Amino acid sequence: MPDSPHTIHVEELTKRYGGAVAVDHLSFAVRPGRVTGFLGPNGAGKSTTMRLILGLDRPDSGHATVGGCAYRDLSRPLTEVGALLDAGALHPARRARDHLRWLARSQHLSLRRVDEVLELVGLTEVAHARCHGFSLGMRQRLGLASAILGDPAVLLLDEPTNGLDPEGMIWIRILLRRLAAEGRTVLVSSHLMHEIALMADHLVVIGRGRLIADCTPSELVARSGGEAVLVRTPDTDRLTRLLSARSATVDNEDGALLVSGLSATDIAELAASGGVVLHELTPRAASLEAAFMELTHDWVEYEAGGDQ
């Protein structure tokens, strides 16, 4: 794929805090035009990686660039990269509009843009209120307003759905998908797969600071053994033998069989040809989350073993 000017490149990035390794030789690229989900369990190093990309923390080795440039070398950074790291990063005694006003002024942006983004995130009503009374959801919206203030081509958002109500979550999902559709690079972190699953076109999964997966959601599912199918039959022994003969994996779950390695169609045909009656045949829908859990769970276990 030809390199776009708005790609985020992370190369061999390593960061230690004291003796603990937060990010460990991490390399990946985030490309424009799609929403990239940045996933990992809590403490996996997602926020640290974002801070390293944004030049807030200095890496011990490796480097990160945005559009080929280190963040520190951008002259009006907010017009090129927008970031939401911590919704609490506001002075509680400052009015919402003043917070955006100084940010806009620092990037030579007009006041009109401030009112535009306030409108866009739905905070016009409270523009002149001081931030100390804001709910977490309102802070997230204001943080998002400052991220998109400079109309940047690259966006990094750390757990932006934190504290949002269901309506807010749908809103942010639609907004991020639209921003990606406009050709922007969007990196969104979360420790919850089901949030990301609804908006991400691509996934970067890390655990203990290391890369676990850099692929599409369907590839992630395939990697963890594909989709499973729940099968109910009065003749479990016979069906299990038939399935095992086709080298499918069969687990018992609550009196039913959880089959992976064969599609629902294959299982139905196999049962029919063997004369086995089926009472239920259900493909498991939440398999992306299951795949994520399995992937990161294995990683954490492996790492814990490695520490001994």
Partner 1 sequence: MTRLFTGRTGDLVAAEWIKMRSLRSTGWALLALVMVSVGLSVMATSLYMSKWSSLDQADRDHLLTDPVGLILQPTAIYGQIAVCVLGALMIASEYATGTIRVTMLAQPRRPAVLLAKATVLAGVVMVVGELIAVTSFLIGQRVLAERADVSLGDPGVLRAIIGTGLYLAAMALFSLGVGTAIRHTGTAIATILGTVLVLPPLTSLLPGRLGHYLSTYLPGEAGQQLLSVGDGSGSWVMPWQGFAALMLWALGALGVGGLLLVRRDV
Which spans of this chain sit near partner 1 (rule: CB under 8 A)? 51, 54-58, 71-78, 83, 85-86, 88-95, 98-99, 101-103, 105-108, 146
Between 54 and 256, name the residue whose CB sits nearer to partner 1.
54
Q: How far is the CB of 135 from partner 1 (least distance, A)?
A: 17
For 67, the 3-state DSSP assignment is coil
Q: How far is the CB of 51 from partner 1 (least distance, A)?
A: 7
Residue 56's Cα: distance from chain center in Å? 21
The two structure tokens encoding residue 41:
């369990």
> 10-13, long-range: CB within 8 Å, 24+ apart, which pairs?
10/49, 10/52, 10/53, 10/62, 10/64, 11/62, 11/63, 11/64, 11/65, 12/61, 12/62, 12/63, 13/49, 13/52, 13/59, 13/61, 13/62, 13/63, 13/64
Q: How open is the CA angle 18-20-26, to the nearest 5 degrees?
A: 115
For 224, the 3-state DSSP assignment is coil
Between 91 and 194, name the residue whose CB sits nearer to partner 1.
91
Q: How far is the CB of 148 from partner 1 (least distance, A)?
A: 13
Q: What region, left, alpha or beta, does residue 159 occupy, with left being phi > 0 and alpha being psi -120 to 50 degrees? A: left
For 50, the 3-state DSSP assignment is helix
Between 53 and 180, name the residue whose CB sits nearer to partner 1.
53
Between 93 and 285, name the residue whose CB sits nearer to partner 1.
93
Between 70 and 245, name the residue whose CB sits nearer to partner 1.
70
CB contact at 8 A, 204 and 50: no
The DSSP line for 231-263 is EE-S-HHHHHHHHHHTT-EEEEETTEEEEESS-
Q: How far is the CB of 303 from partner 1 (least distance, A)?
A: 24
Cα(103)–Cα(242) distance, rounded to whole angstroms? Answer: 66
Q: How far is the CB of 40 from partner 1 (least distance, A)?
A: 20
Between 104 and 239, name the residue whose CB sits nearer to partner 1.
104
Q: How far is the CB of 211 from partner 1 (least distance, A)?
A: 22
Q: How far is the CB of 159 from partner 1 (least distance, A)?
A: 15
Between 189 and 296, name the residue whose CB sits nearer to partner 1.
189
User: Could you count the other beta carbons within 10 Å of the beta carbon of residue 140?
Assistant: 24
Amino acid at 157: L
Q: How far is the CB of 49 from partner 1 (least distance, A)?
A: 13
Between 33 and 43, name the residue whose CB sits nearer to partner 1.
43
Report the chain's C-alpha Rg in angstroms: 23
